[in-house]
């Protein structure tokens, strides 16, 4: 019941949140990061990933988030590993990469998904990521959000959430997950968010997360509810061509192209979704 009440509060914010203005606005095309990151981004292992750099701007995004090679960095919901293949090698020498997935014991997971998650994802992911990245598996950590060791809590420099907030909301676990992530963060740590962005005047049906899109003001309000405050925002990952009003949601666009060959050229010309890029810190 508690989780359902918290979920209801989150969904209410999507409908009612008022616009919030950041204290600072990053310039478009934030300053490029160091040579070691450029080396990672240009590595041949990313041959299949580079086509998306023009939409995801990894160098500029990580620079805006202030990620440094000596940091302890959590990637929430690494999925197919697009950002894992950047972060794990970048942090391998002097930092720490940690993958976090949602608590699979939560009743918000369907039985089949819960079973898949509990069959050893924290144990298997480091080996998978090692194959993706060339980084030794023993240098890669993975936990579910409720299982991170107590001696690591309060020590994470950056938590990065790439296009995963709609999944949290759709699964009725946004509040519990964000509060668990907050516990991991150092006092001066920050959370970087990239999320598909709905239009300011979008209907609830188009902006409640079921289509993949969320209103930027709603995301800011959700974080504020869970103990964070906005530090800065950027238009690094904006795409004005995206109308964000598709019946099949954000998956209409690349890379999914859920409609197949139907109007494929049209959607490829639009490119990947319009995305907000936000930076938060813990609120005392």
pLDDT of residue 15: 46
pLDDT tens digit string along 182-230? 999 999 999 999 999 999 999 999 999 999 999 999 999 999 999 999 9
Give this prediction's pTM. 0.87
Token pair for residue 37? 């990151």
Average pLDDT score over residue span 69-77: 98
Residues 6 or more apart from 167 whose CB is under 8 A from it?
Answer: 77, 209
Rounded average pLDDT over 82-94: 98
The larger pLDDT score, comparing residue 237 to residue 31, is at 237
SS (H, E, C) the chain: CHHHHHHHHHHHHHHHCCCCCCCEECCCCCCCCCHHHHHHHCCHHHCCCHHHHHHHCHHHHHHHCCCCCCCEEEEECCCCCCCHHHHHHHHCCCCEEEEEECCCCCCCCCHHHHHHHHCCHHHHHHHHHHHHHCCCHHHEEEEECCCCCHHHCCCEEEEEEECCHHHHHHCCCHHHHHHHHHHHEEEEEEEEEEEEECCCCCCHHHHECCCCCECHHHHHHHHHHCCEEEEEEECCCCCCCCCCCCCCHHHHCCCCCCCCCCCHHHHHHHCCCCEEEEEEEECC
183 touches 242 (CB < 8 A)? no
Q: What is the mean pLDDT of residues 157-169?
A: 97
Statement: residue 91 has pLDDT above 60: yes
Q: Can you give the pLDDT at residue 122?
A: 96
3-state secondary structure 173-238: CHHHHHHHHHHHEEEEEEEEEEEEECCCCCCHHHHECCCCCECHHHHHHHHHHCCEEEEEEECCCC
How many whole angstroms separate alpha carbon 153 and alpha carbon 43?
32
Cβ atoms of 78 and 84 within 8 Å: the answer is yes
Say if residue 109's pLDDT is above 80.
Answer: no
In this predicted structure, the answer to whether residue 28 has a pLDDT above a threshold of 50 is no
Q: What value does the mean pLDDT take over residues 12-41?
A: 57
Sign of CA dihedral 217, 221, 223, 224: positive
**Per-residue pLDDT at 33 exceeds 80:** no
């Amino acid at each position: 019941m508690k989780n359902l009440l918290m979920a209801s509060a989150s969904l209410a914010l999507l409908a009612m949140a008022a616009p919030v203005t950041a204290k600072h606005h990053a310039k478009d095309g934030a300053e490029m990061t160091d040579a070691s990151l450029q080396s990672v981004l240009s590595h041949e292992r990313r041959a299949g990933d580079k086509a998306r750099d023009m939409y995801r701007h990894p160098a500029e995004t990580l620079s805006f988030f202030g990620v440094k090679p000596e940091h302890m960095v959590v990637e929430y919901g690494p999925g197919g590993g697009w950002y894992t293949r950047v972060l794990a090698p970048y942090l391998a020498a002097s930092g720490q990469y940690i993958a976090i997935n949602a608590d699979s014991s939560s009743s918000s997971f369907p039985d089949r998904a819960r079973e898949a998650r509990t069959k050893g994802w924290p144990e298997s992911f480091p080996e998978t990521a090692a194959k993706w990245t060339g980084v030794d598996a023993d240098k890669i950590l993975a936990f579910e959000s409720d299982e991170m060791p107590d001696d690591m809590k309060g020590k994470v420099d950056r938590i990065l959430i790439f296009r995963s907030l709609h999944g949290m909301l759709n699964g009725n676990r946004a509040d519990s997950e964000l509060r668990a992530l907050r516990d991991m963060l150092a006092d001066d740590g920050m959370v970087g968010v990239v999320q598909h962005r709905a239009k300011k005047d979008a209907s609830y049906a188009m902006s409640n997360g079921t289509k993949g899109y969320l209103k930027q003001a709603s995301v800011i309000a959700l974080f504020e509810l869970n103990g964070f405050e906005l530090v800065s925002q950027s238009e690094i990952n904006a795409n004005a061509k995206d109308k964000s009003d598709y019946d099949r949601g954000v998956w209409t666009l690349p890379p999914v192209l859920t409609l197949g060959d139907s109007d494929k050229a049209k959607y490829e010309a639009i490119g990947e979704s319009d995305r907000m890029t936000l930076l938060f810190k813990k609120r005392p």
